[in-house]
């Protein structure tokens, strides 16, 4: 019998002994939440009535934080605003004084931000995240959260360890589908998969944060927040990377044109080695194995 990956169900475990919950695992859709997770005196047990996978975790394991995504998760602590009211606009806190006496502002997440996926009130948002194969460890490490005030999923973005912006994906979907708050230049750190030497020079460019989180399991990734590259973003990325892979969503002819523009722009710099990958589906829809194969030669 196959065993469940602890990172796929750990965050769903109820707090009280005897309490049981059911969530989606291998099959999405109404009524298909067949992964049963129960808290028992010595830990927790899980069983999926669709695929038959099962798992057990002791209290010691449940109390241990995962190391997955540690390069990114270390930045998450302290970015949540602890006030009782929120008016639907980005919240800023006063930062340290600069050398000339001016005080900077740093953006913080709204007071109603909910980090634990199982506590999100919007079922469509949960399914949207899980259907693209993100694990609980990915969600926790990224700082991704739900906000009722925005009626959407928030993706925090950091620069040198400081939260500088966040992107919101509305539910139900609105136009525009994504909206960013905070740093309007789009400059923020890439998601690094590791400290391996080749990952310190190669960067995969994708459209959105969900794709960036998915790709970052395999290679360092950066979410453009669209299909074009701003001057500020280019200058920031060229300081750390000299090899680029363009992996935009498989949408329409306009995206194909933008891929060519990105290629030409990056290729203007003599130190840049640029590749464009033509995909038959969005990066976030590929499995780890498929992404590994796609990026193998780059």
pLDDT tens, residue by residue, 89-134: 444 333 333 333 333 456 788 888 888 888 899 999 988 888 888 8
Peptide bond into 201 cis (omega under 30): no
pLDDT band of 138, cuts 50, 70, 90 = confident
Percent of the residues in the chain that have a pLDDT greater than 90, as a whole number: 27
pTM strictly above 0.75: no
Contact 32, 50 (CB under 8 A): yes
> CA–CA distance from 43 to each of 24, 34, 46, 61 (Å)?
21, 20, 11, 8
Distance CA 33, CA 149 (A): 27
Return the domain boundaries, the chain: 6-62, 71-182, 197-294
For residues 255 and 278, what is the distance between their CA atoms, to the nearest angstrom?
Answer: 11
pLDDT for 251 beyond 50:
yes
pLDDT for position 150: 92
Q: DSSP label at 109? A: B
Top-level class of domain 71-182: alpha beta
- Kindly indicate the confidence band of residue 139, based on its pLDDT and cuts at 50, 70 and 90: confident
Give CA–CA dist 245/73, Å, rounded.
25
Q: What's the mean pLDDT when you consider all of the chain?
A: 79
Residue range 15-40: average pLDDT? 84
Residue 62 near residue 129, CB atoms below 8 Å: no
pLDDT given at position 242: 86
Quick check: 143 pLDDT over 90?
no
Run of H or E residues at 91: strand 91-97
> Residues 201-222: what's their mean pLDDT?
91
Task: For domain 197-294, give its CATH number from 3.30.450.30, 3.40.1360.10, 3.30.200.20, 1.10.3210.10.
Answer: 3.40.1360.10
Q: How many other C-beta atoms lie within 10 A of the C-beta of residue 212?
A: 26
């Amino acid at each position: 019998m196959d065993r469940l990956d602890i990172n796929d169900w750990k965050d769903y475990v109820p707090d009280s002994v005897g309490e049981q919950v059911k969530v989606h695992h291998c099959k999405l859709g109404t009524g298909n939440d067949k992964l049963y997770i129960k808290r028992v005196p010595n830990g927790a047990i899980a069983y999926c009535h669709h695929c038959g996978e099962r798992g057990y975790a002791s209290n010691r394991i449940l109390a241990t934080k995962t190391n997955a995504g540690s390069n990114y998760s270390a930045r998450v602590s302290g970015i949540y605003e602890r006030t009782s009211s929120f008016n639907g606009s980005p919240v800023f806190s006063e930062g340290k004084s600069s050398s000339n006496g001016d005080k900077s502002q740093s953006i913080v997440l709204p007071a109603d931000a909910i980090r634990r996926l199982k506590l999100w009130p919007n079922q469509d948002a949960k399914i949207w995240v899980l259907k693209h194969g993100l694990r609980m460890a990915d969600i926790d490490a990224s700082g991704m959260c739900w906000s009722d005030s925005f009626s959407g999923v928030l993706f925090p973005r950091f620069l040198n360890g400081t939260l500088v912006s966040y992107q919101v994906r509305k539910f139900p979907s609105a136009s525009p589908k994504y909206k960013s708050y905070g740093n309007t230049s789009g400059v923020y750190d890439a998601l690094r998969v590791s400290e391996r030497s080749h990952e310190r020079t190669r960067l995969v460019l994708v459209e959105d944060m969900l794709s960036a989180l998915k790709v970052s399991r395999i290679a360092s990734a950066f979410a453009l927040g669209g299909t074009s590259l701003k001057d500020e973003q280019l200058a920031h990325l060229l300081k750390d990377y000299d090899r680029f892979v363009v992996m935009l969503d498989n949408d329409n002819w306009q995206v194909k044109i933008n891929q060519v523009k990105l290629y030409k722009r990056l290729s203007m710099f003599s130190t840049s080695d640029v590749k464009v990958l033509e995909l038959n589906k969005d990066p976030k829809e590929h499995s780890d194995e498929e992404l590994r194969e796609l990026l193998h030669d780059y």
